[in-house]
Amino acid sequence: MTKQPKLWVEVVQTVGLSLFLSLGVRQFVAEARVVPTGSMEPTVQINDRLVVEKISYLFKSPNRGDIIVFKAPEQALQMSGSTTADAYLKRIIGLPGEAVEVRDGKVLINGKRINETYIKAPPNYAWGPKTVPDGQYLVLGDNRNGSLDGHIWGFLPKDTIIGKAAGRFWPPQRMGGLD
């Protein structure tokens, strides 16, 4: 006759394993995020729910056009008046070593215009040219004229990137990938 474990032991083990798995997945694999601002409109709307995956950048570098979540730079937090360690959502535009310039409503990388079909409106400001330092990126919101982003606070260190926005799961009518 085998001895059955007590019910309370099974409950504690099940709850413990569940907590460990859920926290481990959130910490190292993927997490959900709610979008609080319109800085990425029209691509991402206020209150959209996104899945942020955290694995791919362990094996490869971010690419231009990736939409990422990152720890907000201290200067951005000060400018926004935030008292918490917020995470921001922006699109990678400039890669390490590239000269980036915003002029005449267009973004130029190494002197060549990039095609940006995803922006809300052409930028109404001039910036650069500036060269993106090694290990850093230039990130901008798709709502260029309504985004507190790299054209205001500078370059983003790679080690502040939390992960890549992999898809939208809410609202249901817009569920799917992000372009």
Tell me which residues are annotated as active site.
39, 90
* Whether 137 contacts 95, CB under 8 Å: yes
Query: Which amino acid does the sequence have at 78?
Result: Q
C-alpha closest to that of 50 among 63, 64, 68, 65: 68
Residue 29 corresponds to which tokens in the numbers above?
């694999």
* Whether 110 contacts 99, CB under 8 Å: yes
Which one-letter DSSP state was computed for residue 144?
G
**How far, in Å, CA of 37 to CA of 141, rounded?**
11
Q: Which residues, in sequence order, are CB contacts of 53 under 8 Å at separation 6+?
A: 29, 30, 163, 164, 166
CA Rg value for the chain: 20
